Amino acid sequence: MQKLLLNILENYKLAKLSNLTDHELAVYVRQQSADVLANAISIDSEKYKVKGSVGQGQWADVPWIAVFDKSITQSATEGYYIVYLFRADMSGVYLSLNQGWTYFKNRYKTKLGREKITQVSNVWKNELSSTLNDFSYEKINLKNEGKMNSLVEGYELGHICGKFYSVEDMPSSEELGWDLQNLIGVYREVKGKLKQGSVEKTNDYLIVNSNMGLLDVEKTEDDSYGIESSIENYNESKLKLNSVPISFAAEEQKSRSFTPKKIDFIKQAKSQKKLGYAGELIVLKYEKDFLERAGKSNLIKKVKHVSDEEGDGAGYDILSFDLDGNEKYIEVKTTKLNSDTPFYLTDNELEFSKKEASNYYLYRVYDFDIQANQAKFYILHGDLTNMLSLKPQNYIVEGLLCSK
């Protein structure tokens, strides 16, 4: 990834002196940049579209490489997307969570469109700043001074959060990959907060309610929106473990500990400030390592991070397999505290554990030490309602018993 970004930054000015048609750098950005990004962090091509652009007909002042969630948008003209925006003077590049300026310009015209896109950007900054600490929310400057270009201005106005990389101090490919993976996690948060899954309805809502500062996030029918393992939630826990012995396989009874290698899970997850996501990553790696040690490489490629790829409504977070090839539906609950710490379960998760009892596993990750990058965990296998003491805290009000 480092080579890709530096190649563009160091050669773009010279390339602009030549004809755009079939230029080597133009072909490189349009055709190879997608492969570089996809290979760097294993982007799911069925879910995401990666596209690079240096302009049409003539060189763009600001070339870009974008990552689009296909269910949100496949174009930089509308919706929300992740994009590398190269400064016009090629002094550096921004990694940006951005939004389509053309949508606002066409709907509201240029002057009012500037106001509306700024409103939407500001609400998202307020909403996401409570859960993120690794990206900047400052305005970006694409260094296109002296040139009237509404697209460049639109990129600047549409910026929500991101990072700047200087051509003189470009991070390693590994760090660039971490940042992109983390911002995709933020992108996922945005997707989860869309009103009825619609960008247009979300934008309308944010514009009308921009003074409120925060999104009024709608709950799904099963209340499984998924901010489930954040350390802030533990004081209001909905569930307590039984003190009686729990019946599950002898091999699973022992509390385990492990130190993950190769991948810094906390660094990947800290942009979301969500312990739950870090726990999912650590279990995902554990499952793959387990299958690899057992010589089941054919099963590793089938392991899937369901909550990340499909959302939080499936009733489980990870699809894995036992050594016989049977599916394992794994729900992950994570805490930095001890094994007795209460945690949340949704109705959907409980019902799924009953329905798929023979294949259902809950991994309770605890004592998560951020500095040492270590954790312990135990496993529950089967119908959770037979193992746990549940304390309901939510009620549906259907009407009044009597009138005053």
Check whether residue 203 and residue 266 sit in a common domain.
Answer: no
Helix (H, G, I), strand (E, B) or coil at 203: helix
Q: What is the mean pLDDT of residues 330-347?
A: 86
Distance in angstroms (rounded) separating the CA atoms of residues 141 and 65:
17
Closest CA to 332 of 286, 363, 368: 363
Query: Is residue 197 situated within a structural domain?
Result: yes
Residues 119, 146 within the same domain: yes
Length of the chain: 404
Find tokens 């763009």 and name the residue. 60
Q: Per-residue pLDDT tens for 134-157?
A: 788 899 999 988 777 789 999 999
Residue at a domain's end among 185, 212, 239: 212
Cα angle value 87/90/96 (rounded, 5°):
35
- Evaluate whether residue 225 is within a structural domain: no
Is residue 404 domain-resident? no
pLDDT single digits (tens) 74-84: 999 999 999 99
CA 355 to chain CA centroid, Å, is: 29
Range of the domain at 172: 2-212
By CB neighbour count within 10 A (0-12 exposed, 13-18 middle, 19+ buried), where does 357 fall? middle
Residues 192 and 295 in one domain: no
Q: How far apart are CA 300 and CA 287, in angstroms?
A: 8
Domain annotation covers residue 357: yes
Residues 266 and 205 in one domain: no
Q: Give the tens place of pLDDT for each residue, 349-399.
A: 999 999 999 999 999 988 887 666 678 888 899 998 888 887 776 666 656
Asked if 195 and 274 sit in the same domain, the reply is no
Q: 243 with 163, same domain? A: no
pLDDT tier for residue 312 given thresholds of 50, 70 and 90: confident
The CB density around residue 105, as the number of other CB atoms within 10 Å, is: 21
Give 291-301 pLDDT, tens digit per residue. 988 888 899 98
9/129 same-domain check: yes
Write down the pTM of the prediction: 0.56
Question: Is residue 398 situated within a structural domain?
Answer: no
pLDDT at 233 over 70: no
| CATH code of residue 151 | 3.30.920.90
Q: What is the pLDDT of residues 258-288, one digit of tens each?
A: 555 445 555 544 433 467 888 888 899 889 9
Q: What is the total count of domains within the chain?
A: 2
8 Å CB contact between 100 and 116: no
* Residues 156, 38 share a domain: yes
- According to the model, what pLDDT value does residue 133 have? 56
